[in-house]
Amino acid sequence: MSLPHDYAERVYAGVLGKLIGVYLGRPFEGWSYQRIMAELGPITYYVHEKRGLPLIVTDDDISGTFTFLRALPDYGNSLSLTPAQIGQTWLNYLIEKRTILWWGGVGNSTEHTAYQRLKSGLKAPASGSIATNGHTVAEQIGAQIFIDGWAMVAPGDPELAADLARRAASVSHDGEAVYGAQVIAAMEAQAFVESDLNKLLDTATGLIPADSTIYRVIADLRELRGKEADWMRARDWLEEHYGYQHYQGVCHMVPNHGLIVLSLLYGDDDFQKTLMIVNTSGWDTDCNSGNVGCLMGIKNGLAGIEAGPDWRSPVADRLYIPTADGGRAITDAVRVSYDIINIGRALQGQPPLAPKGGARYHFEFPGAVQGFQPEPSIEVKGTTSIENVAGHSALGERSLAIRYQRLAPGRVSRVRTHTFIPADTGDLGHYALLASPSLYPGQTVAAAVQADPANTEPVQARLYIRVYEAAGTAHFSIGPEALKAMERAVDALVPIYGPAATLTPGARHEFSWVVPETEGRPIAEIGLEIAPVEGYVPAGSVYLDYLTWSGAPNVRLGKPAKFGKMWSLAWTNGVDDWWPWWPLGLRLMHNEGTGLLIQGTREWTDYQVSTRLTPHLSASAGIAARVQGMRRYYALLLRPGNRACLVKALDGERILAEKEFAWAFDESHDLRLAVEGQRIRGWVDGTLLFDVQDTERPLEGGAVAIVLEEGTLECGDVFVRPVA
């Protein structure tokens, strides 16, 4: 099988459709049809503002879909990937009771139940089987909501998509839940090459047992469509025959799968109408709407999404994927799409795509803005709009047009995108947003801009970042009042400017900027400012070709001078508790197993990390590098029996080297760990103890972490530097 010629753009449309569907259905998730009609009416567009909720939210439908698919690249993009390996992926990226899942309790939340099985050592598929968990738990909706990515890596191959869906779904589900997941995956995979809905349904139902309930509900709805033209009466029929009252559990697969099929059958192949039906119909609206949006996006492409109202501008490609790999949490639909595209290409033996030399922001899909929006400051208000346009790129085919107007001294045009948790995130509900910044001091930012030849006046362009800085004075103390003070602290966004360039009409400029030290303040945004050179500047345009960054950080990860909370949220918290307000440094507590307090990104490769660490009654304590989650990293650890160990966590733990080293509780030691290619070195108190080569499935990049096993430790500032 060859990849479709428009594979990349169809994946992007599928990802956008998924996001739009989830954001559309989330504000009234779990509502009945009757309540929706009474309080909101038919859902024809976003209703978050009516409910006082943010549009861009954390949601298991999004984060689970795009996280569990990482099992493929993490295990070499092999088609021999097993359910057990996908289960290991769960254990690596999930932080218990914090990320991705609805942690609703064993026997109540299917995914929480499966996680507990995996954590106890039971491997998939037993972790999600009916034999282990019973029919009610095993046949809830979760198998379906996470499945879209497995379809998008198998374009035109519904058999492969259904098989991958079975493997992935079986980590947590069984029976009818798996069949529903296979139907969605098969339809989405075939939608890359087939637009006829009935043919998609024929293909998908041919891959599940004919005596299953999922098969029967699809057949019944198809028959009903032939004699009932009104979708509302069809919905009433579905509720009567396959509604929640027929099934136990919190959110069963069958009723919700039925609503997906019903909306497709009655949606007249129209993106807006199909989403209107599935959302207005109630039940698990964000889940159902996300699957429908993805399928319709793949099937009809960007043109189908854009045929109705403007779904894309409010979203601006933004999404959150909170996991133990916190540097990937604040991301966008283009980056996620290329992750999927390159998995699909790898499965076909094709090299990865890296538009504009692998630039982080490249705008190569029509309409893509990758999170860029005008900065909402008073000096920018009313001056700026953005548009994805063809041309004005030396390395690709598209660019981001920044349209400015009526600039005078004190009036500027600025656009920015988020590199960390946005200041206006709002209440995200029970799905937490754990994240680390994606940009750090010491890294080199590169960008290219071009002024429109039709501009009438030169303008000044310069890069800038904004960092979180707390108002008030430094105040770190011991006790509960310190925590309350940190929660009350307000962090403002403070700009730091990079180099400037004057752009005459038609001129192009390439920026290179080493990000300066921010003194513990996390970088929240990066952007481009356009200002008059002198006097008044009428309307014009500047085109952002690309923006990216690279290199090892040169940064102190520690307390800033002023007491706030955003700096502490830059640590992705994988320990039971930690006290960022502790005046002596950072104090961590973890009660069972191994916990990690993580910061950084997967893109960090060669660097060294160091800190001064004091173990208190801990089974082991140390630092880690190239951290890719809770169970993938290199670590330098102090362990019982007066041992220092260099370990590798990857599908279990392997000791790379160990030596006798006298240490004791409550005494401090300086630890340093360097990773360079396959070479791993570790120092304690300035003495090089370990210098090894790891050639067997080496970890090639990742964040840093403080590591704690069952106990308490303190540490000072953590330094990440280029390799000496």
Between CA 285 and CA 277 the distance in angstroms is 10
**Residue pair 189/155 in contact by the 8 Å Cβ criterion:** yes
pLDDT per residue over 626-676, tens digit each?
999 999 999 999 999 999 999 999 999 999 999 999 999 999 999 999 999
DSSP codes, 691-702: EEE--SS-----
**Token pair of 383 as six digits:** 């001056």
| Phi-psi category of residue 272: left, alpha or beta, with phi > 0 → left and psi -120 to 50 → alpha | alpha
Between CA 423 and CA 491 the distance in angstroms is 8
Task: Name residue 416's amino acid.
Answer: R
Between CA 520 and CA 558 the distance in angstroms is 5
> Within a 10 A sphere around the Cβ of 454, how many other Cβ atoms?
10
Between CA 532 and CA 456 the distance in angstroms is 12
**Residue pair 511/463 in contact by the 8 Å Cβ criterion:** yes
**Residue pair 543/388 in contact by the 8 Å Cβ criterion:** no
Beta strands 413-418 and 444-451 are unpaired
Q: Region 477-492: what's the mean pLDDT?
A: 71
Return the bridge partners of 704, or none. 599
pLDDT at 483: 67
pLDDT per residue over 391-442, tens digit each?
999 999 999 999 999 999 989 999 999 999 999 887 777 789 999 999 999 9
Q: Region 705-717: what's the mean pLDDT?
A: 97
The mean pLDDT of the chain is 96
**Residue pair 434/457 in contact by the 8 Å Cβ criterion:** no
Q: Calculate ∠ Cα 707-709-713, nearest 5°.
A: 65
Query: Tokens 């921010």 — which residue?
Result: 518
| 421-449 per-residue burial string, b: 16 or more CB within 10 A, e: under 16 | bbbeeeebeebbbbbbbbbbbbbebbbbb
Beta strands 687-693 and 586-599 are unpaired
> Given pLDDT bands bounded at 50, 70 and 90, which one contains residue 465?
very high
In what helix (H) or strand (E) does residue 34 lie, and over which residues does it extend? helix 33-39
pLDDT at 563: 77
Query: Tokens 């070479």 — which residue?
Result: 679
pLDDT per residue over 363-404, tens digit each?
999 999 999 999 999 899 999 999 999 999 999 999 999 999
Q: Region 475-491: what's the mean pLDDT?
A: 68
C-alpha 658, offset from chain centre: 36
Q: Region 157-174: what's the mean pLDDT?
A: 98
Minimum mean pLDDT range among 377-381, 427-431, 545-549, 615-619: 427-431
Ordered structural domains, the chain, with CATH: 7-320 (1.10.4080.10), 373-556 (2.60.120.260), 571-721 (2.60.120.560)
Return the bridge partners of 400, or none. 388, 544
Distance (Å) of CA 491 to CA 380, 486, 488: 21, 10, 10
**Token pair of 352 as six digits:** 């990865």
Q: What pTM was estimated for this model as a whole?
A: 0.97
**Residue pair 557/719 in contact by the 8 Å Cβ criterion:** yes
Judged on CB neighbours under 10 Å (0-12, 13-18, 19+), 75 is middle
Q: Is the pLDDT of residue 476 over 80?
A: no
Between CA 383 and CA 354 the distance in angstroms is 33
Q: Is the pLDDT of residue 592 over 80?
A: yes
